[in-house]
Chain A
Amino acid sequence: DTAVSQTPKYLVTQMGNDKSIKCEQNLGHDTMYWYKQDSKKFLKIMFSYNNKELIINETVPNRFSPKSPDKAHLNLHINSLELGDSAVYFCASSQDARGTGYTFGSGTRLTVV
């Protein structure tokens, strides 16, 4: 029974398209996150939600829009995809905003061609 699940695992799409990545956690955690891992493996926070409220919004292009319909789900929608958006996107959750241990999903590898 996967704790943090992301779909799809792989996503190949053309420039200019719009795509969504879904994330669900069954841990009962209050806080969820999106991280981007670039080709050099560097992990950078994009967004954080606590109980469905946006609490962190880093300097991410506004083509990226997170949505949290309930505290168990945090989806990421990307408009007008660009080549530079190619990366692995990780969803994570934690019991509280202090992040005393995140649980990560297995990632979504996005390739924009």
Chain B
Amino acid sequence: AQSVTQLGSHVSVSEGALVLLRCNYSSSVPPYLFWYVQYPNQGLQLLLKYTSAATLVKGINGFEAEFKKSETSFHLTKPSAHMSDAAEYFCAVSDWSGNTPLVFGKGTRLSVIA
């Protein structure tokens, strides 16, 4: 079975500081990996995805993530946090076979301090 673990249920950064949200996955087959963002009282929006092409994936709003097979990680980064980045972030895993739906991590709440 596939799973993801997000380290840290809450991360707080200062405006302008580096954002690093950690995600480790477990999968017996080559994974597809995703990051989603959820703003308060809204649905989930896809930030970026890895589907076995380039290991460094760039997404919307200046976010990027790097797939590291040796570390089974897919951490999300942004060089400079903005107040508008405050939200809940979810890492998710699927696979190429289509036999499993997206499995989500428990989420990390990002707070940005002025």
Binding site for B on A (CB under 8 A): 4, 33, 40-45, 48, 56, 90, 92, 96-107
Contacts and interface: CB of A to CB of B under 8 A. Distances in A.
User: Which of B42, B43, B49, B98 neighbours the largest number of chain A CB atoms within 10 Å of its CB?
Assistant: B43
For the residues of B in contact with A, the DSSP-based class is strand
Contact of B101 (A4, A40, A56): A56
Interface in B74-114: 88, 90, 94-99, 101-104, 106-107, 109
A41 B88 contact: yes
B17 to A, nearest CB: 24
A43 B32 contact: no
Contacts of A41: 38, 88, 106-107, 109
Interface string B4-37: 0000000000000000000000000000101010
Interface in B15-71: 32, 34, 36, 38, 41-46, 49, 51
Given A48-B101, A96-B98, A98-B98, 18 more contacts: A33-B102, A41-B38, A43-B104, A43-B107, A45-B103, A90-B44, A98-B95, A99-B32, A99-B94, A99-B102, A100-B49, A101-B46, A102-B44, A102-B102, A103-B46, A104-B44, A104-B45, A106-B42
Contacts of A43: 44, 90, 104, 107
A104 B102 contact: no
A107 B44 CA distance: 9
A90 B51 contact: no
Closest 7 pairs (CB-CB, A-B): A97-B98, A98-B98, A104-B43, A43-B104, A99-B94, A106-B43, A104-B44
A45 B102 contact: yes
B76 to A, nearest CB: 16
